[in-house]
Structure 1
Amino acid sequence: MIALPKGIDMTLLQIHPRQPDASVDHGIQAIVAGISTTETCNTDLAAGPWDFDARPGYGPGSSMGDVIPTGAPRQGELPAEYREASETELHARITAAKTTLGDRVVVLGHFYQREEVVTHADYVGDSFQLANAALTQPQAEAIVFCGVHFMAETADLLSRPDQAVILPNLAAGCSMADMASIDEVEDCWEQLAEIYGPLDAADADGLVPVIPVTYMNSSAAIKGFVGRHGGIVCTSSNARAVLEWAFARGRRVLFFPDQHLGRNTAKAMGVPLEQMPMWNPRRPLGGSAEADLGDARVILWHGFCSVHRRFTVDQIATARAEHPGVRVIVHPECPMAVVDAADEAGSTDYIRKAIAAATEPTTFAIGTEINLVQRLAAQYPQHEIFCLDPVVCPCSTMYRIHPGYLAWVLEELVAGRVVNRITVPGDVADPARVALDRMLAAKP
């Protein structure tokens, strides 16, 4: 049994059922302490993320089984004063540092961040909303992005060169983004050229053989590749508009890294499943027959989100049996069968807005990351809001951002030192911005 971290107040863990606690961490601590009978996917989640910083891997949580690439960023040792500080002390130190820094710093918090971090964020949203939020703060010398690595890269792409973008824990990566490396994508592109011919050559209808489309959840290197090859970035909110943009320019789309968002979006647009072959980068021709690739409309990369892959049709069936009239909303990163079984599918912002717009008390079963679900449950107590997955299993990489790291990077800024700066080199940044600009023009 893991001991509770120093400074955990046991009374915080005993939450009245009519007063839902937005803190996933408090819930996990209660499970480990034996106060709660709820299950968690890994009791190591109760420990500080610094316990795992020196080890290769994504850490405990939903992505713990994914294989991390060799050379993935690691975080250096966090000073003991931050590892040993109580939740109350860290809260006070973060607040004091932000007060001292004033408008010289802006803190961005992703929807999936733990509540103890989000409470200090100046802006809360999805990755692209937050990158845009940073643009509204031209006076900020530093942008502290409480999210994962690709998000900080996107903020660096869109911010001014003199603004420092900081990721509090360098080990906060994204297993989905890592499933499409630049070497694998370039190799795929070369193999497709052997099938289709020159990929920049338009046919009699003015269409090129393939348009590359990358999800926002990808590295800056991948966004740069897309920009160089006439492609575009998409979000979960505008994926359909982006595919329409791509089909107006190409015979087919290479969609990466998330197969499920690509499949669900293309299927809703009427593309038959048999015209959506999978590309597995570890197999010749991605594991597909050349004839299938020739007939393809959307070539799906073999990638996925480990958070959203946890949701199942059986979970939806259980929710409907136990809560007659329940409204089931899932993220489009969920597998197709789950999206088909749900009442609605939409981005994190769609889910948030759907709940906010409900005028009558409603029971919602939500298929997305647990931190957002619990925050919504606490924010809208007139509704019954619960996560489809009964096992508490947060995004393992988002969970690497802890108040201890936030306090550290902010106090370093107070001392005049910039740590954990994320910088995208110019040869990657320029074409990546082209792909992002195309995305901005593709309104949903």
Structure 2
Amino acid sequence: MSSLPLLDPSVDHALQLIVTGASTEETCTTDLAAGPWDFDTRPGYGPGSSMGDVIPTGAPRQGELPAAYRDASEEDLEARIRTAKQALGDRVVVLGHFYQREEVVRHADYVGDSFQLAQAALDRPEAEAIVFCGVHFMAETADLLSRPDQAVILPNLAAGCSMADMADIDQVEDCWEQLADVYGPLDVPDAEGRVPVVPVTYMNSSAAIKGFVGRHGGIVCTSSNARTVLEWAFTRGRRVLFFPDQHLGRNTAKAMGVPLERMPLWNPRKALGGSTAEQLEDARVLLWHGFCSVHRRFTTAQIDQARAEHPGVRVIVHPECPMEVVDAADEAGSTAYIRRAIEEATEPTTFAIGTEINLVRRLAAQHPQHEIFCLDPVVCPCSTMYRIHPGYLAWALEELVAGRTVNRISVAADVAEPARVALERMLAAKPEAASA
């Protein structure tokens, strides 16, 4: 395994070279080299890491992008985006997720993870429109935290999230009813003041799920504060129902000393999630049967190969990776943790990183003193992040210039109110060191 000379961090450029035979790299599908509009009319998440995941019926579809944007060159789109942003000035703020393609991120006023970006929007109160270059649940979170008069725009409505979709609100409501049959009334505390179960949802979930959590005394977490949030939940409940990502829940709870046998997996397609009533009684963390298809691609074999080919390599993976991968790595941490580890390395270091490839290649370009490569040698970006293309960004911005708002994401008031409660609980739950 070897890293390329990554002066150019563009994954799209790498894919075009693969397709033309000018690169010996591999990709999970050559369809990634096509424009995402080729897939907008088809059901599915599109080519990339999530292309094998089953998309829910009724998932948002994007209408046809005008030919002027589909046929434009990269240079033309870049010029149009810059011109539109200049015309709009402070009336618009463009947010770009770390996993976005380079051709989009370069136009972002802020770059960060989902929650950082939702908070960043609050720093631009003068903006009439927030153009969120990410996926659907992120735009929903921005809408929850922004002013009612600010329009949150998702350039491509087909940019969903397969992990978020794995926790369907109807399935979660059904799970809650089944747990009440096992544990009794779920809102009645015991003699120690703890309820039978506290729901915890990862930020990577729909507004409907966040609203459910808010209504039932639960809380939202990020990959950075999952441990603090679980500690908060354990002081209030005998157990935690954690969704949608089983791996973040398992890795975090395991590090806190929760035995694996007390972390049953809840499969929403089975009665009692596939467990017995006795297993549920003994449980400390109920893990929803969800996962991130990007981070599920990483394996212990890839780590073994990286160590064999790069003696002394420092392996850092995201906690959404499977447990065996996290255990085999040197470190596991959020996107912020990974970036900070690289930035703070004072000596030239070889890093093998287990997270989305757009971020990994950007870090490699930003830190040429280090050798940085993605653990997975196959070029396979996040399917849904890759649905945001400069063509869609140019279209959304030029529509704003023309006085039209397209692809606005709005969360209904009855969902937004309890969802904000769950987010506020997360903000108030701080590590002891931070609150001291």
Alignment of structure 1 residues 245-394 onto 2, 5 Å: 245-394=232-381
Q: Tell me how far 1:157 sits from its aligned partner.
A: 0.1
Q: Tell me how far 1:442 sits from its aligned partner.
A: 1.5
Conserved? CA contact 2:317–2:329, under 8 Å: yes
Report what 2:160 is aligned to. Answer: 173
Matched, 1:57 2:44: yes
Q: Which runs of 4+ in 1 moved over 3 A?
A: 16-19
Q: What is the TM-score of this pair, normalised by structure 2?
A: 0.98
RMSD: 0.8
Q: Distance in 2 between matches of 1:343 and 1:36?
A: 31
1:90 equivalent among 47, 71, 77: 77
1:170 is matched by which residue type in structure 2? L
Report how many aligned residue pairs link the two structures.
429
1:330 is matched by which residue type in structure 2? V
Alignment of structure 1 residues 66-215 onto 2, 5 Å: 66-215=53-202
1:393 is matched by which residue type in structure 2? C
Name the SS for the 2:196 alignment partner.
strand
Name the SS for the 2:273 alignment partner.
helix
2:150 is matched by which residue type in structure 1? Q
Structure 2 runs not aligned, ≥5 long: 432-436
Report what 2:231 is aligned to. Answer: 244
Q: Distance in 1 between matches of 2:5 and 2:419?
A: 47
Q: Tell me how far 1:19 sits from its aligned partner.
A: 4.8
Q: Distance in 1 between matches of 2:180 and 2:261?
A: 21
Structure 1 runs not aligned, ≥5 long: 1-15
Q: What is the TM-score of this pair, normalised by structure 1?
A: 0.96
Q: Tell me how far 1:62 sits from its aligned partner.
A: 0.1
Q: Distance in 1 between matches of 2:15 and 2:227?
A: 37
Q: Distance in 2 between matches of 1:328 and 1:18?
A: 20
Matched, 1:227 2:214: yes
Report what 1:424 is aligned to. Answer: 411
2:142 is matched by which residue type in structure 1? A
Q: Distance in 2 between matches of 1:304 and 1:390?
A: 21
1:88 is matched by which residue type in structure 2? E
Matched, 1:402 2:402: no
Q: Tell me how far 1:17 sits from its aligned partner.
A: 5.0
Conserved? CA contact 2:6–2:361, under 8 Å: no
Any idea what the Cα deviations from partners look like across 1:111-169, whole Å, max 9, x if unmatched? 00000000000000000000000000000000000000000000000000000000000
Identity %: 84
Q: Distance in 2 between matches of 1:52 and 1:434?
A: 37
Any idea what the Cα deviations from partners look like across 1:382-423, whole Å, max 9, x if unmatched? 000000000000000000000000000000000000000000
Name the SS for the 1:250 alignment partner.
coil
Q: Distance in 1 between matches of 2:270 and 2:7?
A: 47
1:25 is matched by which residue type in structure 2? D
